[in-house]
Amino acid sequence: MNMSNIPKVLKINDPKTLQLVSKLAEEDNDNMKIPTHAVMKGNEIVGGWNLCEVPMVLLWHHSKKVGAKEYAFTKRCKPSIHSLQQSQSI
């Protein structure tokens, strides 16, 4: 896997991005209604996470754009995201 293709998880800070992540998830037959973070591959949204918005963690990764290795890599990011006071935003 090319390092430039590794997905990044970024905090969502604007309603437009929140709506776009929700829309893309719905188009991919997922029910990500209230994402808090977008999974980015380059400039493309390829997933969404909901962290600490509800008492559980919800994840969506595009069924055709994120493979098992990429998912495993992003999954390892969850503990560090929980511990951050501030994070990058889109």
Structure tokens at 68: 């098992």
Structure tokens at 9: 């998880």
**Where do we find the tokens 């893309």?**
24
Per-residue pLDDT of 67-83, as tens digits, reads 888 877 777 776 666 55
Per-residue pLDDT of the chain (90 residues; tens, 9 = 90+): 566 678 999 999 999 999 999 999 999 999 888 899 999 998 999 999 988 766 666 678 888 888 888 877 777 776 666 555 344 555
**Where do we find the tokens 């890599």?**
73
- The answer to whether 48 touches 25, Cβ cutoff 8 Å, is yes
| Domain residue extents for the chain | 3-83
In whole angstroms, give the CA distance from residue 4 to residue 82.
24
Q: How would you class 83 by CB atoms within 10 Å of its CB: exposed for 0-12, middle for 13-18, buried for 19 or more?
A: exposed
